């Protein structure tokens, strides 16, 4: 005989899930010990394993109840219906995925989510940077990581001519 905890563990469930299945009639009421503890049989264990297999397939509890209380010929119909539902869900998710990819590829959408030069300058000024300190910041960035400096300036959507001027001034001071 198996206790609630042992049977639940065997099937990878919580005690609460097993007791819930019992309360809604998926599991029959178990025999009770002299101390009024639930005692499950191997037949109960097989039934719970079947419930778990159906749940793993994504079946609703009502469908599982129908399958457990009817002949096995009905299982194919319920499983085929669930397969069609899954196909529809997958198609809907693929459509969502394609829509998100289109949004991410749309240039104006990408730019709308990025920081601009004006926003960056206002952040630097709010942190107390003077124009001279910002120039030193660019000078150090250009000296230590010129390619990353270029990419950062492009990220801020600065025009190519202005980027060239910022980098030139960062290198030469003029």
Same domain, 127 and 161: yes
- Digit-coded pLDDT (tens) for 67-100: 888 765 677 888 898 999 999 999 988 888 887 7
Residue 18 domain-assigned?
Answer: yes
Q: φ and ψ at 127, to 5 degrees? A: -85, 0
3-state helix, strand, coil in the chain (%, to 5): 70, 5, 25
Q: Give me the pLDDT at residue 135, please.
A: 87
Average pLDDT, the chain: 87
Q: φ and ψ at 65, to 5 degrees? A: -60, -45
Coil, strand or helix: which one is 40? Answer: strand
12-16, 52-56, 106-110: least confidently modelled range: 106-110
Residue 76 domain-assigned?
Answer: yes
Same domain, 8 and 36: yes
Q: What is the CATH number of the domain that holds 46?
A: 1.10.1660.10
Q: Give me the pLDDT at residue 163, please.
A: 93
- Candidates 22, 95, 89, 124; CA nearest to 4 is 22
- The answer to whether 49 touches 11, Cβ cutoff 8 Å, is yes
Average of per-residue pLDDT across 56-64: 91
The alpha carbon of 159 is separated from its chain's Cα centroid by a whole number of angstroms, namely 37
% of the chain exceeding 90 in pLDDT: 49
3-state secondary structure string across 60-91: CHHHHHHHHHCCCHHHHHHHHHHHHHHHHHHH
- Give the predicted TM-score (pTM) of the model: 0.54
Q: 82 lies in which domain range?
A: 71-106
Q: Give me the pLDDT at residue 83, please.
A: 92
Q: Give me the pLDDT at residue 112, please.
A: 55
């Amino acid at each position: 005989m198996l206790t609630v905890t042992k049977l639940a563990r065997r099937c990878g469930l919580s005690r609460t899930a097993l007791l819930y299945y019992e309360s809604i009639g998926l599991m029959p009421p178990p025999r009770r010990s002299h101390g009024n503890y639930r005692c499950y049989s191997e037949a109960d264990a097989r039934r719970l394993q079947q419930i778990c297999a159906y749940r793993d397939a994504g079946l609703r509890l009502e469908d599982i109840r129908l399958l457990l209380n009817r002949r096995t010929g009905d299982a194919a119909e319920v499983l085929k219906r669930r397969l069609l539902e899954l196909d529809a869900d997958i198609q809907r998710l693929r459509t969502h995925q394609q829509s998100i990819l289109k949004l991410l590829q749309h240039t104006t959408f990408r730019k709308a989510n990025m920081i601009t030069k004006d926003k960056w300058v206002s952040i630097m000024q709010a942190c107390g940077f003077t124009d001279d300190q910002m120039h030193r910041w660019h000078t150090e960035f250009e000296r230590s990581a010129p390619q990353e400096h270029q990419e950062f300036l492009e990220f801020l959507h600065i025009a190519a001519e202005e980027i060239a001027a910022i980098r030139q001034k960062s290198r030469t001071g003029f």
